[in-house]
A and B are shown apart, each in its own frame.
Chain A
Amino acid sequence: MTRPESALPTDPSRRAPAPYQPVWSLSDEALLAGYGAGDPGASAAFVRRFQSRVFGLAMTLVGDPSTAEEVAQEAFVRAFRHASAFDPRRARVSTWLLAITRNLAIDALRVRRSEPMDPDAILRLPLVGDEASPEESALLSADTRRLADALRRLPPEQKRAVVLAALYGRTAREISEMDGVPLGTVKTRVRTAMMTLRKVLVDEHPGPRHGGSGDDV
């Protein structure tokens, strides 16, 4: 039943590191399962692991700390309610949780604002790593850094179209009306931008999808 390590194949790369991980470094998926099951330890660890990203996205989108906190709190409550529906084949925990946050932020913006969005504000939207020191920048995943760089380098009209759609949940028709351009032009801009962004990820990762933010063992 129990086999000592010395009885295992002798390839040294297979024998290190130790074949276990402490509870506090559980994968994102395991932590979400504990959170959804109502485990207090996992719940605290889950909120702690994701709160800065959830609040950061809410703050970026709604721009007001009080509304951002309401949105972020509600995102965690929704994640708790829907944890059992999370499917790791369809998304990472981080992007699933951030999609919930974005949708709630969009709802909050729709309630609060009726005035048109300032086109320049979208172009000035802060992105991860904007003013990061070399040390902070090194903490970002290579993918995130490359994607942020690629988004910064997009022609302004493409960047605006893709940010409005991906982050603000605007429809193609809404973007077309806001920018005063035909619907087909918006779709072309979005398509071109997405192809450019995809290229920076795919070129570096020809294989299957890479890991989330959970710690590898």
Chain B
Amino acid sequence: MTCDEVKALAPELALNLASGEQRAAALGHVARCPSCRREVEAMSEVADAILLLAPPAEPPPGFESRVLSRLPAARRRPWRRVLAVAAAVVLTAALSSGLTYAMGAHDRHLAAEQREQQAGLAAVDGRYFAAAPLLGEGGRQGQVFGYAGRPSWVYVVAGSGMSGDVYTVDVVTSAGRKVPLGSMQVWDGRRAWGALLPFDLSRVASVQLVSGSGTTYSAQLHP
């Protein structure tokens, strides 16, 4: 199949109107041809966007609880953990702004802030927070926060200098092992993404983000 043929077929591919044979031939071509791939993706975005044109409508009262009651109970987890995570996120914010505020302020203010933070951490069985700049070409491009608790988690904030892309997020352990955490989509400007860690934060040396084009960013949480 030629580029012209694939491009002409792109609307039908996006709307599932192409025959199986046409689809197979076109997809074989698209796998090798970035220009045609972009064309098919663009048409798929149009097809997707048409779904957003249906007017929203509020469902009948009680809809949310009826949906939630249908989710498998075995996988639903207690509120305590959610509250712990929520509290920890708020504490991250408090810690970040608290430190900024404390810079240059009187020592007793800092001590008071730290006491409050420690009390907050203890309330959710947390141990400590870590934060580090996310460094890439041109210097600091965002921040990474880490929380050591049960569970431990990391939270990545992409700065406005990071280009729109899907970034693969990995943690590198102190033993040098790379563990995939997931992928983070950055569109335009700031974006944040978080994930639970499969082990304690103290085992994390750094968090790495790699874009589809290979650009790498890294935050050293533990030296």
Contacts and interface: CB of A to CB of B under 8 A. Distances in A.
Interface of A: 1-6, 8-9, 13-14, 17-23, 26-27, 29-30, 33, 37-44, 47-48, 51-53, 55-57, 59-61, 65, 68-69, 72-73, 76-77, 80, 88-89, 91-92, 94-95, 98-99, 102, 126-130, 143-144, 147-148, 151, 162-163, 165-167, 169, 171-172, 187, 190-191, 193-195, 197-198, 201-202, 207-212, 216-217
A3 B132 contact: yes
Nearest to B82: A41
Contact of A52 (B58, B130, B131, B166): B58
A14 B160 contact: yes
Contact of B193 (A30, A42, A51): A30
B193 A27 contact: yes
A61 B182 contact: no
A190 B17 contact: yes
A18 B97 contact: yes
A39 B77 contact: yes
Nearest to B164: A208
B192 interface: yes
A194 B46 contact: yes
Given A22-B89, A201-B49, A211 B55 contact: no
B139 interface: yes
Interface residues of B, number: 91
Contact of B185 (A72, A88, A128): A88
A82 B81 CA distance: 23
A95 B55 contact: no
18 contacts: A1-B222, A2-B130, A19-B143, A20-B89, A37-B196, A51-B63, A56-B55, A72-B63, A72-B67, A77-B70, A88-B166, A89-B212, A126-B54, A144-B52, A147-B53, A162-B50, A165-B17, A217-B190
Given A38-B77, A210-B188, A166 B92 contact: no
Interface string B119-163: 000000000011111000001101101000000000101011101
Contact of B48 (A95, A127, A187, A194): A95
Contact of B192 (A8, A102, A217): A217
Contacts of A37: 75, 77, 196
A38 B190 contact: no
B29 interface: no
Contacts of A26: 192, 194
A144 B92 contact: no
Q: Nearest 9 pairs between A and B by C-beta?
A: A211-B187, A38-B75, A194-B11, A95-B48, A52-B56, A55-B59, A217-B190, A98-B51, A56-B56
Given A18-B97, A190-B15, A210-B187, A167 B71 contact: no
A117 to B, nearest CB: 16
B10 to A, nearest CB: 8
Given A41-B83, A198-B43, 6 more contacts: A2-B131, A9-B140, A39-B82, A98-B54, A165-B15, A216-B190
Nearest to A60: B54
Contacts of B157: 19-21, 217
